[in-house]
Structure 1
Amino acid sequence: MSYAVDPEPSARRGVATAWPAGERFGIAAAPSGLALVQDVLNTRPSPRKGFVDLLSTVGSAQRWAAAAMAEWAEAEGHRRRRVQLRTADVDELRQLREQLAALVRTEDEPVLPALSGLTLTAGTTTDGRLDLEPTGSGWQLVGGAVLLEIHRAGRLDEWRRLKTCRSSACPIAFYDRSRNNSRVWHDVTVCGNIANLRASRARRRRVV
C-alpha cells in the first residue's frame, strides 16, 4: 500500500513556521487557527530529536504559551491578551494535550470532552459578524482558543487532516495536505523509511 506525500512536509522545503513548538521540528503549520491546536500537540518531547517537553516546567510552558497565543491572536485577528501560568495551569495544559492527542487519533467528530473552565464569549465585529473569544485566565485562555479552533476546523472540514505521525517513536503532529488525505507519517523520508526498513528486516527473519 502506498501513501501520498505532503507537498509541503516541512520548513526545510520552504514552508517556515512562526509557531514555537512546530518550529523545533521544522514542520509546516496547519491553516489558520488550527495551527494553535497543532502547536499544543507539538509541545510533546522528542528524545530521538533531542527536544524536551515544553510543558515540563512553568517557565518553559509560560514561554511557549505567550508565543503561541500571540501568534494565534495575530494570525486570527483576536485581541492579544497576556497569559500567566502557574503550576496548576501547566498540569491542566498537559491534560488538554493528552485529550487532543487521543482525539486526533480517532475518526470521530471533533468534540472535545467537557473541561471545567473552558468558555467562550460572543460579540459582534464592526461589520456585524459574530466574534468569539476565549475567557478566563491562565490555561483557560489557551484551552478556550483551542476549543474555538476545533469547532471552526470541524465546520471547515479541516479537522480530519490534523494527524500525529504513525511512528510510535515520533510525537509530531502534522497537517495532511495530500489530495486524498492519506498521509500517515510526518515525513515519509524519515519515519516512513524507518518503518519500511523494520518491516523488511522482519520479513527476512521470517523467511530464514
Structure 2
Amino acid sequence: MTGAISSELPGFSLAWPAGERFGIAAAPGGLALVQDLLNTRPSPAKGFVDLLSTVASAQRWAAAAMAEWAEAGGHRRRRVRLRTADVGELRQLREQLAAVVRTDGEPVLPALSGLTVAAGTAPDGRLDLEPAGSGWQLVGGAVLLEIHRADGLDEWRRLKTCRSSACPIAFYDRSRNNSRVWHDVKVCGNIANLRASRARRRRSAP
C-alpha cells in the first residue's frame, strides 16, 4: 500500500473504509462516498479483494461508508441491510460509475435508474434531500445526491480513476488545472513512463 498521497495532503480524511486500503485522501464532503464505492474494486497487484464480493463484506463496507457519509454531510444516519440481490445491484452501480469517471474527456453524469430521493429534515432543522428505499437503494440514492451536488459545485469532474489499466484506484484531483491522470505519479506514472521508454527504444533499435 502506498501512502504517498496521504502524506502529501495532511488533514484530509482517510477514514473511508475502501479508500483507506490504498492510502487515498478522500474527496471533499459526501463525494467521498462515490469515490469509496469505486474503491471497493479489487486490486490483485496490491493484494486487495473486492469488498462487494460477498454479502458479509458488502454489508461491512456499506454500514461504515454510510455512517461516514452521514457524518460528513450532516445527514440522518440510516441502517443499511443488504441481501444477495442488493450486492449485485451495488456492483452494477459501481461499474456504471467506473465507466464515466475517467481521467480524460468531459465529465459525464451517469444515467442511474431505480433510485429515488425524498425530502427530509437535517439535524440542524433545515430541509434536505435524503435517499429513499432500502438495501442498495439507500446507498445508491446517496450516491445520486452527491453526484448532482458535486456537479453543481464543479467538483464532479475532479473525481477520476487512475489512467493505469492495472490500477482500479479512484482519486480526487486537487491540482489547480485538474490535470492529474495517475493516482500516484511516483507509482503508476513512473511504471507507464518506463514502459513507454522501453517501447520507443525497441522501435528505434536496428
Structure 1 residue aligned with 2:172: 175
Q: 1:81 aligns with which of 65, 78, 84?
A: 78
Deviates more, 1:21-30 or 1:99-108: 99-108
Answer whether contact 2:17 2:65 (CA < 8 A) is retained.
yes
Question: Unaligned regions of 5+ residues in structure 2, if any?
Answer: none
Q: 1:17 aligns with which of 3, 14, 19?
A: 14
TM-score, normalising length from structure 2? 0.91
User: In structure 1, the residue corresponding to 2:44 is in which secondary structure?
Assistant: coil
Provide the rounded CA distance (Å) in 1 between the counterparts of 2:198 and 2:96: 35
> What CA RMSD, in Å, does the superposition of the two structures yield over aligned residues?
1.8
Answer whether contact 1:58 1:87 (CA < 8 A) is retained.
yes
The alignment status of 1:194 with 2:194, answered yes or no, reads no
Provide the rounded CA distance (Å) in 2 between the counterparts of 1:127 and 1:18: 24
Provide the rounded CA distance (Å) in 2 between the counterparts of 1:157 and 1:41: 19
Q: Which of 1 and 2 has higher RCO (CA within 8 Å, sep 6+)?
A: 1
Identity of aligned residues (%): 81
Q: 1:128 to 1:68 in 2, by over 3 A?
A: closer
Question: Unaligned regions of 5+ residues in structure 1, if any?
Answer: 1-7
Q: 1:10 to 1:16 in 2, by over 3 A?
A: farther
Structure 2 residue aligned with 1:50: 47
Deviations 1:12-68 (A, max 9, x none): 333441000000000000000000000000000001100000000001000000000
Structure 2 residue aligned with 1:97: 94
Q: 1:199 to 1:32 in 2, by over 3 A?
A: same
Provide the rounded CA distance (Å) in 2 between the counterparts of 1:127 and 1:25: 34
User: In structure 2, the residue corresponding to 1:20 is in which secondary structure?
Assistant: coil
Q: 1:38 aligns with which of 35, 38, 49?
A: 35
Provide the rounded CA distance (Å) in 2 between the counterparts of 1:196 and 1:72: 37
Amino acid across the alignment from 1:10: I
- How many equivalent residue pairs? 200
